[in-house]
Copies of this chain bind each other. A is one copy, B any other.
């Protein structure tokens, strides 16, 4: 009788994931922690680079006062200036501290931007498969999600996008490197996206904002991920240091609004208000002070690359069809049967915990996270072989 009608529905809907989680715990109890292989959660077990702890200690041991005080609503000016300078260096676009707003992670940042931009009923385009928390973020502010299919290799399908681009579309939400597919959009693809969005913006007399969710930007294995800012002017990037500095629990992220956005100033003012009135007001003080001290450093990526190579090579060798991820730390292979939930249950029986593609709007696939010790991944390989044999993919 107390919670809202919408929340009642959400509570019911959450039970599938909870059931999976509980089943995992049940299996750990029976078979032992080291016999259950949990590929389901993207919670990196690695430690931040040494400079993070060194810098935090330096901050705490300094005599300076006010380390933990309130800061201006968009965040400490020095931190925002530092980030703006980094972006300026990367893009040669004139970012300033008035382009940057600190936030409690990238998820918080997306909510702030959607709260700033969306009138009820306006549409946000996402590309399947996608991180389905976006459904909630968009619904939080009365927006409507429009899911556009991608090609077989999970790249943009520009014909499908053009069809979906009506005058009611306010935001295009992309995520590159991508969770769950590992796809990194190329400069050529972003140019093509620019052409289409610019054409449609002009046709409708609208500004279509490209909202790019980039927590994995620096987790790349082959080529760097191109800066979206260089390809489309009306771009807003949201990101966090959860992955590149291995600080997922510290909720340190930011919003960067392109100075080339048609309404850059207004969006900035609105986002600062949205941040304030959603109540969580930017990011923790100590972590904001950390950012300029860490500079360009990121966590050691060699272990992710090694994990990707081992898993990718093994899975493709035993018959799984799978894209080689260019970034992030997920594989998204095709299931040998149509029903991904049934396949996930079969894997579970072998103590392999994976997530059905349906949970990402990509039925018929499954997601594997590889942000774990290589040793654990190597020990799991025979079980994947067993699974493939079970489905007659190999003998």
Contacts and interface: CB of A to CB of B under 8 A. Distances in A.
B7 A273 contact: yes
Interface residues of A, number: 84
A276 B119 contact: no
Interface string A117-135: 1110000000000000100
A262 interface: yes
Contacts of A278: 108, 111, 140, 278, 280
A280 B280 contact: yes
Contact of A277 (B140, B280, B282): B140
B119 A251 contact: no
A151 interface: no
Contacts of A163: none
Contacts of A250: 68, 284-286
Nearest to A136: B277
Q: How many copies does the complex hold?
A: 2
A2 B277 contact: no
A68 B241 CA distance: 11
Contacts of A277: 10, 133, 136-137, 140
A279 B111 contact: yes
A167 B112 CA distance: 33
Interface in A80-127: 103-111, 115-119
Nearest to A249: B285
A57 interface: yes
Nearest to A112: B279
Contacts of A266: 2-3, 8, 11
B68 A104 contact: no
B60 A284 contact: no
